[in-house]
A and B are shown apart, each in its own frame.
Chain A
Amino acid sequence: MTSKSSTDYQRGAWAFLGPGAALVVIVLYLPVIYTLVLSFTRYGGLADPVFVGGANYVEMFADPAFLGSLVNTAIWVVGTLIIPVGIGLLIAYLSFGLRWAGILRIPFLIPYALSGVAVGVLFGFVLQNGGALSQALAFFGLPGSDTRWLQESPLNTVVMILAASWQGIGVNALLFTVGLQSIPKEPLEAARIDGASGFTLFRTMVWPLLRPSTTIVVGLSIVNSLKTFDIVQAMTQGGPNRVSETLGVTMYKDTFVNSDYGLGSAVAIFLSVITVAASVIYLRRQLSIGNGSDAGRITAEVSS
């Protein structure tokens, strides 16, 4: 191939790349820059934005609703690491190698086909005062039928995490199953011959060998829980009195309900920064411990 044709080829490639690249710039990068700019302005959605410096950020950290939302988001991050990730791993490990494992895992996977909003609406009816759960508890004479699941904080956040877990366990179990399948059999057999079994086998052999899967599942879980929005919006709209908001809901509420686009943008920027920071710090740490050659692959998978 001559250098001339190579250049022509590259020029030609730009014609095909151009529209795609333009689309990414228009719908992804420009809005991010616009949001950043808006976060330094006072803007009600109607009159032109007025530059106010860092006032929105100062206001944000002084706002009790924002601070509550920050705490709730932290509960979501921890909660979704313990429940959907933990139970997902448990299911994958316990069912691994069983004869009917595939069938056993199906019921856990089905909820994943639903959208977050559908799960929210469904559990909203189950958990509302006098809803299906309260009626069931009352019918069986069990305590708790008077509990206001969605109205007391932090109980409402906890039950929403459980609702999200109902949906999320299956896919985590699936990812862990794939991880378990990719573990070579030889070291496990060697360990068994050396007398390892049960929890010891899991702790010393399976867990370290499962690291690539764990990294992905935990990384995804952190990012997804930081940006929790749909299920909360569907179940409580962040209420009552803003006590169950997450950062995603606070961002939406400040922007579109209170028409305070500047403050909403500040929350959006803050949320983006901590999400990116958490992902980068976590992945850096994990990948520096693990196999360096996997770095590119895992980052690509997590960010996709």
Chain B
Amino acid sequence: MRFPKPLLLAAAAVAAVSMLAGCSASGGSPDKLKFVNDKSWDFKAFSKVSQDQIDMGLDASTYADQDAFVAFVKQSLRTGKAPALFTWHTGGQLEELVDQGLVAETSSIWKEEIAKGDVAESVKDLYTIDGKQYCTPISVDNWVMYYDKAAYAEYGLQVPTTWQQLMDNAEVLKSHGIAPFWSSGGNPWAFVWFQIILAGSDLQLYKDLAAGKASYTDPGVVDAMNVWLDMEKKGFFSDPGSKTAPETQMKDGKLAMIPFGTWYASTISQVLKEGDDWGAFPIPSITDQGSTPVAIETAPVCATVKSSQKADALKYSQWWMSAKAQTAWSKQQGNLPFNPKSTASTQTFRDIGKEFAEPDKYDFYLRYYEATPTPILTAALDQFTGFMTNPGDPEPYLKGIEQVAKKYWADH
């Protein structure tokens, strides 16, 4: 059988074109900014707000899997397929991208926004790398303890202001068969109690550890782990292997307290009512450190260098910091807005916001997840999970982290 040449050429051309078509990504709508994120927040609703206010919207795609998200961002940022905007983390993870020149500088935006009084100078520090700013905040969240008001009322408990009161409350709850505190293994939440206990015991040591100036086998770190171990042995924690969401455990009356950032309000409010069912209080310090350490984290939105929508992306980033946008964001998310001209949408956070604004009473520090370089963080999350699963002598776990930390700091 013979084929005429034009037919052959046509067949080859069709095959080639269909292969290329398979490779090219779908473009999304032209007037919307391509936005990839790892947050379960309702960006579609927020996109409508921005569409009304500045005539720009978000074409958001959310990754449910953290690992897949990180791998996607790292792979796409070097190519023309880079999204206009993406969510990320501050600290070492942002530095990694900035070192490669993949994230657009935002120094001029920060200058304007601070001059307008839209954001505190201290927040800028979280976004500063080598004197320049990158990315802008979607939110800045303080870590608080969410508690079950029903359980507190039933057993006559008061909101604690000291660590001892917190432990006493835990004893009472435990004796009534309620897990006092939420705890979870794996990535990302295995660090939570290490952070609370170490910073609560010795904030300077926490900071030194994050900066590589202290070792994970230091006596102070071992002491903090032993405080954790003691709480584990008393049965103060929920099952770290449970796949049931903390708010569901609280709703079922099995769990009384959950330490999280103020962003968690939008999640917990899906099953429990703010003010009636749940409240929040600052987590007390373990030792007297003058002021109470409070972990903060911030959710940055970053504009990419390679995207064709870079200019619009930066405009959008700046708008997101404005009082109007932050008020809308807080209304949607139920969180604490960082813009002082915006108001929190719930009474609980208006009170917490006022409390945290008291001068010299609180000392804000960067959350462990951002403060710790990635390779050390992943090793630590594994080791902490091991420790929670089989609570015992903390030293082997700390040695496991120190091994990675030592290697990392030798090269950095």
Q: Mark A111-152, 1 if CB is under 8 A from B, else 0.
A: 000000000000011001110000000000000000010110
Alpha-carbon gap, A128 to B245, bound state (A): 13
Residue of B nearest to A252 (CB): B67
Contact of B96 among A44, A148, A256, A260 (CB under 8 A): A44
Whether, in the assembled complex, A241 has its beta carbon less than 8 Å from a beta carbon of chain B, the answer is yes
**Nearest-neighbor residue (CB-CB) of B383 within chain A:** A241
A256 touches B68 (CB 8 A): yes
A-to-B contact residues, CB < 8 Å: 5, 8-9, 12, 15-16, 18-19, 22-23, 44-47, 124-125, 128-130, 148, 150-151, 237, 239-243, 252, 255-260
Are B378 and A240 closer than 8 Å at their CB atoms?
A: no
Task: Give the interface residue-count category, chain B.
Answer: 35 or more
Q: Which chain B residues lie closer than 8 Å to A19 at the CB level?
A: 12, 15-16, 19
A239→B382 contact, CB < 8 A: yes
A47–B1 alpha-carbon span in the complex (Å): 53
Residues of A contacting B: mostly = loop
Tell me the bound Cα distance from A125 to B8 in angstroms. 55
Q: Is the CB of A45 within 8 A of B241?
A: no
Q: Which of B15, B71, B385, B389 interacts with A256 by CB under 8 Å?
A: B71
B412 at the interface (CB under 8 A from A): no
Interface pair B2/A240, CB less than 8 Å apart: no
Which residues of B lie under 8 Å from residue A8 when comparing CB positions?
2
Asked if A258 and B70 sit within 8 Å, CB to CB, the answer is no
Asked if A12 and B385 sit within 8 Å, CB to CB, the answer is no
- Residue of B96, B385, B386 near A46 (CB, 8 A) is B96
Cα A12 to Cα B96 in complex, Å, equals 51
- The distance from the CB of B320 to the nearest CB of chain A, in whole angstroms, is 26
Interface contact A239-B15, CB-CB below 8 Å: no
- B residues adjacent to A (C-beta < 8 A): 1-3, 8-9, 11-12, 15-16, 19, 67-68, 70-71, 74-75, 77-78, 96-97, 99-100, 102, 185-187, 239-243, 374-375, 378, 382-383, 385-386, 388-389
**In the complex, what's the smallest C-beta–C-beta distance from B52 to chain A, in angstroms?**
37
CA distance A151 to B383 in the complex (A): 14
Could you tell me the distance in whole angstroms from the C-beta of A232 to the nearest C-beta in chain B? 14
B93 CB → nearest A CB, Å: 10
A44 CB to closest chain B CB, in angstroms? 7
B74 & A125 in contact (Cβ 8 Å cutoff)? no
Please give, as numbers and ranges, the residues of chain A lying within 8 Å of B15 by CB-CB distance.
18-19
Q: Which of A22, A148, A237, A241 has the most CB of B within 10 A?
A: A241
Inter-chain contact A240/B19, CB cutoff 8 Å: no
23 intermolecular pairs with C-beta atoms under 8 Å apart: A9-B2, A16-B11, A18-B12, A18-B15, A19-B16, A23-B19, A45-B75, A46-B77, A46-B99, A46-B100, A125-B243, A129-B242, A130-B239, A237-B186, A239-B185, A239-B186, A239-B385, A240-B386, A241-B382, A241-B386, A241-B389, A256-B70, A260-B375
